[in-house]
A and B are shown apart, each in its own frame.
Chain A
């Protein structure tokens, strides 16, 4: 019976070995896939932190403003909601608050509506539509110019609006919201642009 004699180099470089190499190339070469996935996972885990850090640095604060001579010192979020939904609320002197809004869909208005009223822009529109159908009074006045808004608030007793602290003029001042000033940690009217 003839002996099947396969040379060692043939065994080493031959078909069997070639198949094993091909297998290794095909499948072991795919090892980079889990590596990349792992990297992506790491990135995903790290990114929100980085985003949060970036956002923390981009945090925008909205101060609730009144006339410098106003006796109002502090308003709760609930009171702000009542004022800006025209449900009727009075300041300590008994005068009715006169809320003034930023124009719809501006960044500060959207943020204020979300933080104070808990509504998106569409929900705000729907809210006022339904309210007017009921025959109730309409929404607060909007003022298209910030400088004009600040002047109005500065001159109108009972006037209430909101602006970023860096935008304030000597005629107006920011008051506490829920007992916190805009510079205090935990101030409720902050958002990321």
Chain B
């Protein structure tokens, strides 16, 4: 089926966006230099100097002496001694020291004052056991991975710092066992080759060890001009919906991401610029995100066709009826992948080396999404619906081959995919246990391999203490009604999984 999305026309104007990007970064450069200068303490320790208004700062420039993170000032403050007479008013001094660990993840908080450049390290991790509840004969036992195994799935580390004067930086990296163990099926031979990263450890007795990888989830620096305008540059999570931004296993309710999210109907990350902000029209908060990026690319740091992607998100939130957030998201961009080879050319009698490119895949895509999240007392209801369509450039050169069990291979048609999920849960008082139910559906009529998927997940999300979450989840996935080109739809998939996720 060949959809011709009318919205996906030529986009020469977006090529000019690259130039805009350079201008924007140029404008930011002086501010970066300014931020790099050491912060001057505005109020000296214990003296009576006048505090400079920190109006323009997200993080206040506070007296350098009082270490507001600890029970005792970092620098002796004579005025505190003189104020000891007033200490009978110090109702909470020392009360909380034994309990302060409850906020330890929040690092007692924020490094906003004198430690402008303090680096906050925190993160999350999870450990999962997955078991398939299907007959031994089911094909899923062979192709689903990992099955009946313990696994550490995410080990994400955040590095965040308030740089002062409205600047903030954040990095998030995920440590991976991959590429060890990853498999690469060969559609022509059927071979499924496993990557082996075994090397001999030179630091020991050359014991064999496996090396893993690091994935950059996001890394950006942000400047807040006002609450209405904050500019991020770097790599960021695409601001759409709910799940993609929540994304950390202790923050999301279920164990598995809904298919509509994991299938990346919107790209998960983007490298570029993000402008966002919010304002309040009591009792409603209205916020927006605007993005300009390389878009979906085979290489994160290179945009092969200089065709920038644009995106937007608009949301409204109110606490008038519980906490209700309604949002809509948009993304439009191009994808271009190519292979290259060096060639030797004769250029006016001079032999020069040049590079020739062959298009592997090239298309324009449009994604639209809508989301709603409602928290009323202990009830949580949330849902997202997303549609994504792609139109390949003219000719077959831009269309990749589609693997087929029974040949001949065809070319990838233009396609439209859509998916939706809904979640309902209720957090009880019993060990903060939330029974939840997720219903989801994804449909890609132009994908010959994967039939429509209807999934249901029942589970328990238990929070014995803030930062630690136990999850038990049963997933039933029905594929069909057609079996798909490789027969995936013939067998339903039932999964029982348990997970412990923790923030640190």
Contact = CB atoms under 8 A, between A and B. Distances in A.
Given A139-B106, A152-B62, A157-B55, A145 B80 contact: yes
B455 interface: no
Contact of B100 (A93, A96, A104, A145): A104
Given A96-B55, A107-B92, A144-B68, A138 B102 contact: no
B158 A159 contact: no
A158 B226 CA distance: 14
Contacts of A101: 109
A158 B53 contact: yes
Nearest to A76: B282
Nearest to A130: B251
Which applies to chain A's interface (DSSP): helix, strand, loop or mixed?
Answer: mixed
Interface stretch (A42-50, A120-128, A181-189): A120-128
Contact of A129 (B70, B72, B160, B466): B466
Given A81-B319, A142-B68, A156-B62, A133 B95 contact: no
Interface in A83-141: 87-90, 93-96, 98, 100-109, 121-123, 125-126, 128-130, 132-135, 137-141
A147 B295 CA distance: 52
A146 B168 CA distance: 28
A130 to B, nearest CB: 4
B216 interface: no
Most buried by A among B107, B108, B250, B463: B108
Nearest to B68: A143
Contacts of B467: 125-126, 129
A116 B83 CA distance: 30
Most buried by B among A93, A104, A109: A104
Given A96-B57, A167-B89, A125 B109 contact: no
A151 interface: yes
A122 B109 contact: no
Interface stretch (B240-248, B397-405, B486-494): B240-248
Given A96-B55, A129-B250, A130-B250, A106 B107 contact: no
A155 interface: yes
Contacts of B106: 125, 128-129, 132, 138-139
Given A139-B103, A142-B109, A155-B63, A133 B247 contact: yes
A164 interface: yes
Most buried by B among A88, A94, A158: A88
B227 A155 contact: no
Nearest to A159: B60
B49 to A, nearest CB: 9
B43 A104 contact: no
Determine the interface band of chain A, counting residues with CB < 8 A from chain B. Answer: 35 or more
Contacts, number: 211
Nearest to B503: A129
A93 to B, nearest CB: 7
A89 B247 CA distance: 26
Given A141-B68, A157-B54, A89 B91 contact: no
B285 interface: yes
Nearest to A155: B51
Nearest to B377: A118
A81 B283 CA distance: 12
A104 B102 CA distance: 7
A36 interface: no
A88 B278 CA distance: 8
Contacts of B97: 103, 144
A127 to B, nearest CB: 9
A135 B80 contact: no
A61 B381 CA distance: 35
B250 A98 contact: no
Given A104-B100, A129-B250, A151 B79 contact: yes
B327 to A, nearest CB: 14
A7 interface: no
B227 A96 contact: yes
Contacts of B62: 141, 152, 156
Interface in A160-187: 164, 166-167, 169
A191 to B, nearest CB: 13
A78 interface: yes
Given A105-B99, A140-B109, A156 B54 contact: yes
A102 B94 CA distance: 11
Interface string B469-504: 000000000000000000000000000000000010
A102 B63 contact: no
A121 B285 CA distance: 25
25 contacts: A93-B55, A95-B56, A96-B57, A98-B60, A103-B92, A104-B102, A104-B103, A128-B105, A128-B109, A130-B250, A132-B158, A135-B170, A135-B236, A135-B237, A137-B58, A139-B103, A139-B109, A142-B109, A143-B66, A144-B96, A146-B90, A147-B83, A151-B66, A158-B55, A164-B91
10 shortest A-B CB distances, which residue pairs?
A95-B55, A103-B96, A125-B466, A133-B248, A105-B99, A88-B227, A106-B92, A138-B110, A155-B51, A167-B89
Given A76-B282, A101-B109, A138-B120, 19 more contacts: A88-B278, A89-B227, A89-B280, A94-B226, A103-B92, A105-B100, A126-B466, A133-B247, A139-B103, A141-B68, A144-B93, A144-B94, A145-B80, A145-B93, A152-B62, A156-B60, A157-B54, A158-B53, A167-B89
